[in-house]
Each structure stands twice: as C-alpha cells, then as structure tokens.
Amino acid sequence: MPEICSALQRLTYFVKLRYTVETLLATSLADIGRPAVVSADVASYVSTETLMPALTPSELEAFPALEWSDVAPRVSPALRASLEKVIESQNGGALSLEESFALADSDGDDLLGLLVAADMLRSELAGNLVTYVVNRNINFTNVCFVGCKFCAFSRGPRESDAYFLSFDDVAKKTVEAWKLGATEVCIQGGHCPPSTIATFCER
C-alpha cells in the first residue's frame, strides 16, 4: 500500500508539473497569436550550449512546496524578469515571442523558477479545487486516410469494420450519454475523402 501511495503521489506531482507549465506557456503563446504547441520553432531557437544542470526527480517533485521568493534569486536575470512580468500582470500575453521561447527552453534553476511561478499563478487564478465533467466521445467515423503511425483506430473505407454514423446514430448516442449522467459530448472522427468542412460542421 505505501508503494502505491508513493507512486500515486509521484504521478500527481508530474501531472501538476505538466499542467502548470503548459498553462503558462500556452497562455503566453496563444495571447500573442501563436499556436500553443511549440516544437519546430522552439527547436530552432533553443541553444544547447548553455544548458543549466538538470533537476533531479526529487527537486521536481518538491517544487509545489516552494515559494517564488525561495527560487527567484536562483533564476537567470532575463527569465526572472519575464516571470515576474507575468506574475505581476497575471497575463501570459505580456511576454514577447522571444521571452516565450526562452521559457520553453528553460532548464535547471530556470525550469524550477518556471514551475514555481506557474504553480503560484494556477493557485491564484484557479485555486486548488479540482472539478470534472462526465463526457462521452462519439466517433462518427473510423474511416481515415491520414495514416498517423500511432493510431490503432482508423480503418480503410473497404474494411469490414469501417463505419460512418448517421445523424440519428449520433443523436441516439448523445441521448444514451445524457441518461448515464453525461453533461457534454465530444463529436469527432477520422478524416475521409467524402467529408467536407460542411460535413464536420453539421456533425
């Protein structure tokens, strides 16, 4: 039992870590008209020549117990200025694109500062109350021509288990979800040639 509790605690910390960082970065990038996902742009911006020492797992797990005043002196001046700008304004849109990329590239004490600042903002803006909704994902088709290598869901149009739900089928599944306590549905499906933008909007 102690091992299970410890594993759950570690999972909780890392989920919280991911949430806080994604919240801060997504806010800062989205508010200046950039996609919330940073990959190729960041890769071209990142320099691997001046990386700080990586944080240990125990340091990463301990960040929720830290205050900004504990870590601020350890953060590099440029990143500290960026984080304090967001802390003061509570608005990630106050950051420039370059400042956002620098946060995405943070490591060592800079990463620790980012985590603490993001967690502090999360606490101030959203609090510690966690809520959830009962949701049903309705896939109106599993026919898809994209061919993502990680997907085990898609089928070709001539495969025996390929399907394309009618509007009535989608409505029936929605009613079933409502009766089971769902308060929302997510309607999604594969990308298949007969579909148009209008098809997805209608569904």
> In the prediction, which pLDDT does 146 show?
85
Query: Domain range for residue 90?
Result: 2-125
> In the prediction, which pLDDT does 5 show?
42
Q: Which residues of 26-63 are buried (b: 16+ CB within 10 A; e: fewer)?
A: bbbbeeeeeeeebeebbeeeeeeeeeeeebeeeebbeb
> In the prediction, which pLDDT does 178 show?
95
Residue 93, domain member (yes or no): yes
46-59 pLDDT tens trace: 343 444 566 777 77
> In the prediction, which pLDDT does 42 show?
37
Q: Are residues 34 and 91 both part of a single domain? A: yes
51-106 pLDDT tens trace: 456 677 777 788 888 899 989 999 999 999 999 999 999 888 888 988 988 888 88
Q: Among the three residues 77, 96, 125, which one is the final residue of a domain in this structure?
A: 125
Beta carbons within 10 angstroms of residue 111's beta carbon: 22
> In the prediction, which pLDDT does 73 show?
94
Nearest of 139, 124, 126 to residue 192 by alpha carbon: 139
The total number of structural domains in the chain stands at: 2
Q: Among the three residues 78, 94, 125, which one is the final residue of a domain in this structure?
A: 125
2 has a pLDDT exceeding 50: no
Q: Are residues 152 and 101 both part of a single domain? A: no
Residues 157-178, mean pLDDT to the nearest whole number: 92
Q: Among the three residues 77, 104, 125, which one is the final residue of a domain in this structure?
A: 125
